[in-house]
């Protein structure tokens, strides 16, 4: 990426074994540690989840609170 260039990555959170991972925020933090400027995080899609998703075989675990899946556009600027 050229210096001063802009990239937008759309990434969402995930639920694994009943634990929510805010992968959008983790991705932004890693990018910032690598020298990128976080120009913004914009939620572009939100979906409330019910037991069918939270308790599926992939996401099995004990969930203490209602969790929603969402996608965020992460806007980064190159140093």
Give the number of domains in the chain.
Answer: 1
Give the C-alpha separation, 31 to 68, whole Å: 24
Count of beta carbons in the 10 Å neighbourhood of residue 70: 16
Give the C-alpha separation, 54 to 18, whole Å: 7
Q: Do 55 and 18 contact (CB within 8 A), yes or no?
A: no
- Structural domain range at position 24: 6-77
pLDDT of residue 26: 96
pLDDT in tens, 16-67: 877 889 999 999 999 999 999 999 999 998 875 555 555 555 455 555 666 7
Position 1 in a domain: no
pTM of the model: 0.75
């Amino acid at each position: 990426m050229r210096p001063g260039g802009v990239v937008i990555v759309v990434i969402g959170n995930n639920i694994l074994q009943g634990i929510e991972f805010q992968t959008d925020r983790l991705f932004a933090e890693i990018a910032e540690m690598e020298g990128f400027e976080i120009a913004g995080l914009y939620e572009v899609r939100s979906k409330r989840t019910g037991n069918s998703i939270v308790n599926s075989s992939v996401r099995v675990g004990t969930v203490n609170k209602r969790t929603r899946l969402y996608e965020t556009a992460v806007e980064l600027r190159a140093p």
